C-alpha cells in the first residue's frame, strides 16, 4: 500500500531549482534512505514531504490525500511525524515533560500545556511507555538539557514517535554522536517502530554504514534530481552512481 507519494515535484528559490521533477513513492513496510552530496536537494525534499514547504509545482499525497504545503502540524494529525538533524530540547523541561508535549498535541489537549500533568495519569502512562521503548525510562525526571548527545537524539526521535505516526521521517538521526552510539540509536528506533506499529521510515543520512545497514531502498539525489531509487546492493554495485553521489573517496574504501 502506498503511503506517501511525490509526483514530478519542483521547487524553486528565485531562479535556483532545488528540486527538478522528483517523483517517489513510499509503501508500507519500507525503510527508505535519501542520500546525496551537499546541495543535492535532500533538505528541500524533506521539507516538501513534511508539509513545511509547498512545492513550486507537482503533487504530494499522503494516504491518497493532497498534502502539499499543509504544514507539519496538520500532517502530524494525519499520521506523519518528523525528527530533526539539530536537536533543540526545551531547556526548562524534564525528559518526561518533553515527551508529554507531543502526547498532549496528539490528543489535541495542547491548550492545557503542562499545567495539570501531575494529575494526568493517562498522559504519564503514555509517556512512560514511549520512554521505556527508547531506553529513557529511568530519566523521566532528568532535565532534558543535561542528557548526553546520544540520548538527546533518542529523545528527539522518541518525541516524533510519541505522536503515534504511521510514517516517521528522520533528518540525520545519528549526526553528532559516536560510531558506537549510532548503531545503538538505530537499533532502538527500529525496534520501537515495530512495537508501535509505524508502517514506514524515511531518513536522510550521510553515514553510509547506517544507510546500507538499515535501508530497504536508497533514493540518491544529485542537483535536485533522482539519480537512483534502488536496493542497497544495487546502489553499492553502481560505481558511477557512487562516484557521483558519494565521491571517489568512498570507492577507495
For residues 211-239, give the mean pLDDT. 93
Write down the pTM of the prediction: 0.88
pLDDT over threshold 70, residue 110: no
C-alpha–C-alpha distance, residues 175 and 190, integer Å: 17
Please report the pLDDT score of residue 128 as a whole number: 93
Question: Is 49's pLDDT higher than 90?
Answer: yes
Q: Where do the domains of the chain lie, and which CATH numbers do they carry?
A: 2-89+147-251 (3.40.50.300)
DSSP H or E run through 16 = strand 16-27
Give the phi and the psi of residue 24 in degrees, each rounded to 5.
-160, 160
Cell 499522503 appears where?
62
Report the percentage of the chain scoring pLDDT > 90: 55
* pLDDT tens for each residue of 9-25: 999 999 999 999 999 99
SS3 content of the chain, % helix, strand, coil (to 5): 40, 25, 30
Amino acid at each position: 500500500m502506498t503511503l506517501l507519494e511525490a509526483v514530478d515535484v519542483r521547487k524553486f528559490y528565485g531562479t535556483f531549482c532545488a528540486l527538478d521533477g522528483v517523483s517517489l513513492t513510499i509503501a508500507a513496510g519500507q525503510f527508505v534512505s535519501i542520500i546525496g552530496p551537499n546541495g543535492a536537494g535532500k533538505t528541500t525534499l524533506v521539507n516538501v514531504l513534511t508539509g513545511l514547504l509547498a512545492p513550486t509545482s507537482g503533487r504530494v499525497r499522503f494516504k491518497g490525500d493532497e498534502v502539499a504545503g499543509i504544514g507539519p502540524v496538520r500532517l502530524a494529525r494525519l499520521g506523519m511525524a518528523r525528527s530533526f538533524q539539530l536537536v533543540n530540547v526545551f531547556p526548562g523541561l524534564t525528559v518526561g515533560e518533553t515527551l508529554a508535549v507531543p502526547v498532549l498535541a496528539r490528543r489535541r489537549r495542547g491548550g492545557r500545556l503542562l499545567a495539570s500533568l501531575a494529575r494526568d495519569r493517562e498522559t504519564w502512562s503514555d509517556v512512560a511507555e514511549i520512554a521505556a521503548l527508547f531506553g529513557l525510562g529511568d530519566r523521566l525526571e532528568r532535565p532534558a538539557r543535561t542528557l548526553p548527545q546520544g540520548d538527546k537524539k533518542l529523545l528527539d526521535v522518541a518525541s516524533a514517535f510519541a505522536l503515534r505516526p504511521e510514517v516517521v521521517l528522520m533528518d540525520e538521526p545519528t549526526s553528532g554522536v559516536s560510531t558506537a552510539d549510532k548503531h545503538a540509536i538505530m537499533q532502538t528506533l527500529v525496534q520501537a517502530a515495530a512495537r508501535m506499529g509505524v508502517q514506514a521510515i524515511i531518513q536522510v543520512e550521510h553515514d553510509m554504514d547506517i544507510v546500507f545497514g538499515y535501508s530497504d531502498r536508497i533514493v540518491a539525489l544529485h542537483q535536485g534530481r533522482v539519480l537512483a531509487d534502488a536496493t542497497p546492493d544495487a546502489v553499492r554495485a553502481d560505481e558511477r552512481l557512487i562516484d557521483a553521489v558519494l565521491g571517489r573517496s568512498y570507492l577507495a574504501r
